[in-house]
Structure 1
């Protein structure tokens, strides 16, 4: 065995003098802490016996000269050491305790320097229990910090009160009481306590006033007093420029208020993305702090990075399983990810959780629960949840918005209109308040989330009005959504206010509303928005299909042909494609875009080959293209296939009369060669002659 492998006791024995006066340093080697070590390692217990034996062999008062120094007692001693002290803890029937205050006090203070807060708490409470009447300031401080780190915030506040009774100027105790109040959502108490700590500015221990300024800012941020919170975070950074938690909070709030990236301001470059990085740095130092995980999730949610936000919220919930606020936001991002069943479970867990909320309280969870039920198709349940949200938060637009959506799905359009109008009215009230209040104004929810919800409200209002036939009002609602996006999307550096899929639906519906007004001056806008929609959802059949219909209706027949061709490639089995092709053919025929009309009708005939109406329209295309003889042959074929069809007979008869009047000859044929109609089928252009490559170009292998 190498010397490094020996226990401290064995090393002491190696160095111990033999057969001379006792070494006082050897005596001090054996301390109360050693007896605790004996319980965990029998070899250490044996070392302890050897020290005792070696000590009492030497010196003027040789212990072995006494009656108890007989040989049998000398060997009984190691037996006692090994059985009583050396027996491992798991092999003992009863917990071994030393009623030694100094031992437990030393353990309390030593363990408090580590992160094993459970053992710290046990040691501190044992020491305090042995001598309750002492002031024990250091022990109570260590106990209080352990309670705080273990998440026992109520007990931590009480424990710090004992510290403050002994040392009223212990500012660090007040700062951790403030932090505990923040964790308990007692935000007014938190702000008052942090301010008291800063006013006293007494002892901060190993911390600094930055601790109180940070939690002061966090409490204000949670209350929605964002400008004031920004000031507190700034004070924390003045005291401690390396405080990553304060930097993260400052960037998060500055970005929400629209201060990010502005030239000349002190928050330049302080974006939500920057705050996410700062939270990562803070979490590297404090990975078990659920509040940091939640704040990071909130920043990611605002950026529209829902999958990453979900991971952060899940980390917070792993640390505190019944964390109501984190569970409610987990429900919200799951709704955005369209995992509605899991979202519903998260909202239910939030409502049954620890009751830690922000300024919106459980009304936010009820609103998100309604959204999850809408996604899952439970519209009656969604309406009931939205009603609970409205009852708890009558001024919160989100609850009214979800109520409107639930009613719309239940086809109660007029009630839905009332609800969505109320949501819009509440948003206007909030905007007016924010425009007139002072520096200490309060935001009901995160500004980014509020403005994102404004886009959703405008979209929903436009869609409901569109269904009601109020097309001009629907256009105004969609214009409002576009204006919010124009104002706030640039502020969200590195993020998205709404998803690409949502934008595709917004622009598609906007195009439909513009066309539905019947204002031909808006038709070009309708075509523009229809084309824009396809850019945000290039893999969506529905968006391409809608774009084709809109482009056809407003006279952009070439765009319509391209859009419907793309929809056909994405899902050629869709039965409604036949009607879309037919509509394009009919519209292009009316607009004298005859080649496009023929192509579209041919596509329609391929989907529904037995549709006689499509064939009749094809005959009309041939006739208008000046291919009268070909058209007549075409009608003749149709009559052979459908001799009782009066419309075909009428078209055939009218064309015969026209040709007879004009004196043109008519030759019947059993087949129709439409390629002879050059207006529909112009000859293919001759490709230009190929040119030789410049000599300077390298020859590729």
Structure 2
């Protein structure tokens, strides 16, 4: 099959994007040819040989297809157009030369003119299926999808003059258009018909892979993608890099994240300027909580396309996650950076991939919450739920903002809406526990944490908060168990170590409590509560000098620490009693 058409495609589920911006209807009209009709030979004589000009036109088209540089390609197409128009001047009623003229205009993204030239061909040969197919392709590029599909169907129904081609091109673009309309099953039928005619057509195999991916037929998608890579010819505007990207997405669909990352690496080795692939890789890295690495991928994507909404959203999300885990002194800066990225996303190119503006408003609310701008955060999350009323995570974020505002009634209502949308949303249950704990409704809080941990037992933060609730309920042994579950998941959790120490102290296991508080202070030497807790434990063990040192350090950090004051006073009284003796 000759690779006549060099149409422009971008990565996506069979989405054709045209360099031409707007759709327009094209009437049959006389074509104004752009060059003089007469071409002279080097001897000054006009060459009036139709076949000469026709062959020269074909020669320049072939040369254009072989050029890697865009400027050289344009130059060859310009020469092809000139030669073709010389041929038309000699045989203006030859349908095939008008079809060739249409193909050049199609390759140079002059879609209305291409349609017009094809119409001229059809005046002289109404059953020229290749001319009708070129119109199908041009209308598709102009985003006149229904008209495009009608023309591809007409070309196949007539099945007349295909020139040097065959119906494969019409079947292929029928599939492309159907995939644009998300009719992937019908698109697959069209791709199969294409491949019956051209079994080693990588472009068709790549589109078939895309369609299987869209239908979540992962094994079939991988089979088609691998076939496209194995054949490795006639790529059109697909490419091996695009296929590797689809392989990465398919592995992501299968939750084979390491394989997905490896596939994206292959794609980026072939095409490091693919912002879409960088974003896809960043999303997988975020999925497996490699947040810093995901941020690198999103930053790369933004570097390639500064207004890419989906990439900026990924950047915002990654910065929010990093802020949550950062030291307090670093959180503000990270949240400010996140806020800037989210706002840039909302002002960006509206290419959200599988996300939406609601996700950006949600993440913006998280960033604003992190900077203490709760009223703005509430307004932002209200935008998110306004755009997507079934967005459980957004309702949960709304409840968190109300929790910060200490408006627990509204917080609970928003939380209930989140769980009504998705009762399996673990973070919704964890937030519910947080709200009940703030209201000192500890049994309800415990129930909420238990529900959430039943759905997701790998959340150390939830185990930590559950241990606090159990401590409040006086169930100190179970509080220790819960804190240790948290530590099994995250050995660096300062709060979990602290909770463990507090529960041990309540059980009068003062030596164990001191060990837990030591772990806290190894990680945060200025944790005043841990110094107080250790001081109290040492007081009970009779280690008065060390206890006094801890308590004085605690008060230096937090002069309002009543427990430290009371224990110091008790130490002082004991010292006086010993002195009286």
Of residues 488, 501, 505, the one that matches 1:548 is 501
The alignment status of 1:236 with 2:224, answered yes or no, reads: yes
Match of 1:508 in 2: 464
Deviates more, 1:393-402 or 1:109-118: 109-118
Deviates more, 1:407-416 or 1:191-200: 191-200
User: How many angstroms does 1:584 deviate by?
Assistant: 3.7
Any residues of structure 2 matched to 1:40-59 within 5 Å, and which?
none
Match of 1:402 in 2: 397
Match of 1:479 in 2: 450
Match of 1:314 in 2: 299
Any residues of structure 2 matched to 1:148-297 within 5 Å, and which?
155=141, 170-171=167-168, 175=172, 186=180, 188=182, 193=187, 195-199=189-193, 201=195, 202-203=197-198, 206-207=201-202, 209-218=204-213, 220=214, 228-230=216-218, 232-237=220-225, 239-240=227-228, 242=230, 244-255=244-255, 271-297=256-282
Of residues 134, 142, 161, the one that matches 2:98 is 134
Once residues 309 and 58 of structure 2 are traced to their aligned partners in structure 1, the CA distance between those partners, rounded to angstroms, is: 38
Once residues 191 and 579 of structure 1 are traced to their aligned partners in structure 2, the CA distance between those partners, rounded to angstroms, is: 67
- TM-score, normalised relative to structure 2: 0.65
Once residues 300 and 329 of structure 1 are traced to their aligned partners in structure 2, the CA distance between those partners, rounded to angstroms, is: 11
The alignment status of 1:328 with 2:299, answered yes or no, reads: no
The alignment status of 1:381 with 2:376, answered yes or no, reads: yes
- TM-score, normalised relative to structure 1: 0.55
Structure 2 residue runs without a partner (length 5+) = 1-41, 45-52, 89-96, 112-137, 156-160, 231-242, 324-333
User: How many angstroms does 1:140 deviate by?
Assistant: 5.8
DSSP-derived class of the 1:322 partner:
coil
Match of 1:527 in 2: 480
Q: Is the 8 A contact 1:533 1:543 kept in 2?
A: yes
The alignment status of 1:417 with 2:415, answered yes or no, reads: no
Of residues 338, 342, 347, the one that matches 1:352 is 347
DSSP-derived class of the 1:356 partner:
coil
Q: Is the 8 A contact 2:63 2:76 kept in 1?
A: no
The alignment status of 1:635 with 2:567, answered yes or no, reads: no
TM-superposition CA deviations, 1:566-609 (whole Å, max 9, x none): 334555455445543455467xx5xxxx4578864663366569
Match of 1:496 in 2: none
The alignment status of 1:466 with 2:422, answered yes or no, reads: no
**When the two structures are aligned, how many residues end up with a matched partner?**
454
Any residues of structure 2 matched to 1:594-673 within 5 Å, and which?
594-595=541-542, 600=547, 603-604=550-551, 613-614=566-567, 617-618=570-571, 634-635=576-577, 637=579, 668=581
Q: Is the 8 A contact 1:175 1:194 kept in 2?
A: no
Match of 1:559 in 2: 512
Q: Is the 8 A contact 1:107 1:120 kept in 2?
A: no
Q: Is the 8 A contact 2:510 2:538 kept in 1?
A: no
Once residues 555 and 271 of structure 2 are traced to their aligned partners in structure 1, the CA distance between those partners, rounded to angstroms, is: 66
Compare relative contact order (CA 8 Å, sep 6+) and give the higher one, 1 or 2.
Answer: 2
Using a 3 Å threshold, how does the CA distance of structure 1 residues 549 and 565 change in structure 2: closer, same or farther?
A: same
Once residues 350 and 181 of structure 1 are traced to their aligned partners in structure 2, the CA distance between those partners, rounded to angstroms, is: 30
Using a 3 Å threshold, how does the CA distance of structure 1 residues 608 and 420 change in structure 2: closer, same or farther?
A: closer
Q: Is the 8 A contact 1:120 1:142 kept in 2?
A: no
For the aligned residues, what is the CA RMSD?
Answer: 4.2
Once residues 468 and 194 of structure 1 are traced to their aligned partners in structure 2, the CA distance between those partners, rounded to angstroms, is: 57
User: How many angstroms does 1:308 deviate by?
Assistant: 2.2
Once residues 311 and 345 of structure 2 are traced to their aligned partners in structure 1, the CA distance between those partners, rounded to angstroms, is: 8
Of residues 322, 336, 344, the one that matches 1:337 is 322
Using a 3 Å threshold, how does the CA distance of structure 1 residues 398 and 608 change in structure 2: closer, same or farther?
A: closer
Using a 3 Å threshold, how does the CA distance of structure 1 residues 276 and 572 change in structure 2: closer, same or farther?
A: closer
Deviates more, 1:525-534 or 1:193-202: 193-202
Match of 2:326 in 1: none
DSSP-derived class of the 1:135 partner:
helix
User: How many angstroms does 1:413 deviate by?
Assistant: 1.4
User: How many angstroms does 1:390 deviate by?
Assistant: 0.4
Larger radius of gyration: 1
Once residues 571 and 483 of structure 1 are traced to their aligned partners in structure 2, the CA distance between those partners, rounded to angstroms, is: 31
Match of 1:77 in 2: none
DSSP-derived class of the 1:353 partner:
coil
DSSP-derived class of the 2:289 partner:
coil
Q: Is the 8 A contact 2:463 2:485 kept in 1?
A: yes
Q: Is the 8 A contact 1:515 1:526 kept in 2?
A: yes
User: How many angstroms does 1:297 deviate by?
Assistant: 2.2
Q: Is the 8 A contact 1:558 1:596 kept in 2?
A: no
Q: Is the 8 A contact 2:335 2:370 kept in 1?
A: yes
User: How many angstroms does 1:280 deviate by?
Assistant: 1.4
Q: Is the 8 A contact 2:467 2:499 kept in 1?
A: no
